[in-house]
Amino acid sequence: MSQRRYPPGPKGEILFGSMRPFAQDRLNFLIECREEYGDLVHLRILGRHAYLINDPDLVRFVLVEHPELFHKTPLFKRATRNVIGNGLLTSEGEFHKRQRQLAQPAFHHQRIANYGDEMVDFTRQMLDSWQPGAVLDIHEAMMQLTMQIVARTLFHAEVVEDAHQIGTAITTALRFATQRTARPLSLPDWVPTRTNREVKQQTALLHTTIDRIINEHRTTNADQGDLLSMLMLAEDEHGERMSDQQLRDEAMTIFIAGHETTADALTWTFFLLAQHPEIERKLQDEIALLHGLPPTVNDLAHLPYTEMVIKESMRLYPPAWIVPRLAISDFELGGYPIRHNSIVFTSPYTMHRHPRYFPDPERFLPERWTPEQEKTLPRYAYFPFGGGPRVCIGNGFAMMEARLVLATIVQQVQLRLVAGQQITPEPVITLRPAHEILMQADRQEIPIKPELLVQSE
């Protein structure tokens, strides 16, 4: 093992280490660490050693080759346990493996293909409710849309009337969880502060929503062909089903993660398109091949630029912006000894903006994702869904949904940014806008160019 003790990194404060600059501006702090210190950066955070990875091979080591060396961080678990409990995002070991195996069939590509029409139908219903020239918060709109899609396709439930309240509750819970990770010395949950009381109230609303959905399923006790039915009816090798608490934890995890991340990705996509009209026109030209018909799952193979736009949006604004792990053993990483109880983490946000792999990294350029260009990338230079045994279980669902929703909206409306806004990302548990993003929705019918009509015949 190398004699070098630590890789280079910022010295930090005596007591708090680098906690203060990280908490104040997480994204820029990580970018600056990568630029100044390189592929593996040593940090001290509240007396604990932490290591930031900025190299695809080291990312592969942690996520894919040796996941047994790591757990999710205790701070992340404590911050999220009141909302999602011991679901797929937080559980470990054999229990995590068992729960994932129970949920995996619901995300098989043949099954999720059946959800496509409902995704488009919900999107068209949303568009029908928009008045011509209406100004709306695109993030709020995408949150409500993806929430309704997840509720209907994976839980066979309706949340249309409660969507706004549920969205507010999720926002409160995510921001609170982020505060817990950024300020680990804050007062515990049981202290009746104003914030704790509000979080408790909003979390109770989320639990009530999930409990209602579960109870509606139990009135029939039949397999409705959705994820929740699978989880309720699945039995382990001993013939036992999930406990009520396990069922709630898994349902809550998938309900929140299944719509929040896609809503974030779509929001940033429309934000970027509004600033790049030449890319928007190219996207419109491709969608014109649909001849005004609603997009279907079968159409996606003929909409490569639509997928390239989504991929490039998730490069610049990956919803899962940070992937932290706790080392549970001693090992060597990049030639340095890593001790157990150290934090090892990587950030898709910083990796995706690395000029070594993405020239002119701040530029929105969907052409990076042609098949030829993509083949030149190291595998883990781009990993918006994570990797290894903890890779996002719903990545196929999310990519299909994002492409269908994007094509449906661009086909019918043009979204323009309202002037005078300061739009910045907020790295909570996911990478969402810090404030609302106001956009004006103008109705349009994409003209079918004669040359496109010839190409499609």
Q: What is the mean pLDDT of residues 355-378?
A: 97
Identify whether residues 120 and 231 lie together within a single domain.
yes
177 vs 49, higher pLDDT: 49
Please state, for a pLDDT cut of 90, what percent of the chain lies above it.
60
Identify whether residues 168 and 231 lie together within a single domain.
yes
- Among candidate residues 347, 363, 383, the one where a domain is terminated: 383
Q: How confident is the model at residue 449 (pLDDT cuts 50, 70, 90)?
A: low
What span, in angstroms and rounded, lies between the C-alpha atoms of 141 and 126?
A: 8
Identify whether residues 10 and 144 lie together within a single domain.
no
What span, in angstroms and rounded, lies between the C-alpha atoms of 177 and 432?
A: 14
Task: Kindly write down the DSSP assignment for every residue of 405-448, as one continuous string.
Answer: HHHHHHHHEEEEEPTT----EEESSSEEESS--EEEEEE-----
Total residue length of the chain: 457
Identify whether residues 350 and 374 lie together within a single domain.
yes
**Highest mean pLDDT out of 55-69, 108-122, 218-232, 234-248:** 55-69
Quick one: which of 52, 36, 61, 47 has its CA closest to 12? 47
Lowest mean pLDDT among 103-107, 165-169, 305-309, 357-361: 165-169
Quick one: which of 349, 414, 393 has its CA closest to 29? 349
Q: Count of domains in the chain?
A: 2
Q: What is the mean pLDDT of residues 348-377?
A: 98
Please answer whether residues 136 and 417 qualify as being in contact, where contact means their C-beta atoms are separated by less than 8 angstroms.
no
> What confidence score (pLDDT) does residue 391 get?
96
What domain range is 339 assigned to? 1-84+321-383
Per DSSP, the three-state class of 191 is coil
Identify whether residues 78 and 102 lie together within a single domain.
no
> What confidence score (pLDDT) does residue 2 get?
47
pLDDT in tens, 126-154: 999 999 999 999 999 999 999 999 989 98
Identify whether residues 302 and 340 lie together within a single domain.
no
The structure's pTM equals 0.91
Q: What is the mean pLDDT of residues 61-85?
A: 89
Q: Is the pLDDT of residue 455 over 70?
A: no
Per DSSP, the three-state class of 352 is helix
**Tokens coding 299:** 């159409």
- Among candidate residues 360, 383, 406, the one where a domain is terminated: 383
Please state, for a pLDDT cut of 70, what percent of the chain lies above it.
92
CATH number for the domain spanning 252: value is: 1.10.630.10
pLDDT in tens, 187-231: 566 666 777 788 788 888 888 888 888 888 888 766 777 888 888
Per-chain mean pLDDT for the chain: 89
Identify whether residues 122 and 80 lie together within a single domain.
no
Q: Is the pLDDT of residue 169 over 70?
A: yes
Identify whether residues 145 and 278 lie together within a single domain.
yes
**Tokens coding 437:** 């993003």
Query: Letter for the amino acid at 82?
Result: N
DSSP assigned state of 207: H
Identify whether residues 153 and 215 lie together within a single domain.
yes
> What confidence score (pLDDT) does residue 446 get?
63
> What confidence score (pLDDT) does residue 453 get?
44
Identify whether residues 236 and 269 lie together within a single domain.
yes
Q: Is the pLDDT of residue 452 over 50?
A: no
Q: Is the pLDDT of residue 14 over 60?
A: yes
Q: How confident is the model at residue 168 (pLDDT cuts 50, 70, 90)?
A: confident
What span, in angstroms and rounded, lies between the C-alpha atoms of 405 and 266?
A: 8
- Among candidate residues 350, 383, 416, the one where a domain is terminated: 383
Q: Is the pLDDT of residue 355 over 90?
A: yes
> What confidence score (pLDDT) does residue 425 get?
97
Identify whether residues 28 and 131 lie together within a single domain.
no
Identify whether residues 71 and 130 lie together within a single domain.
no
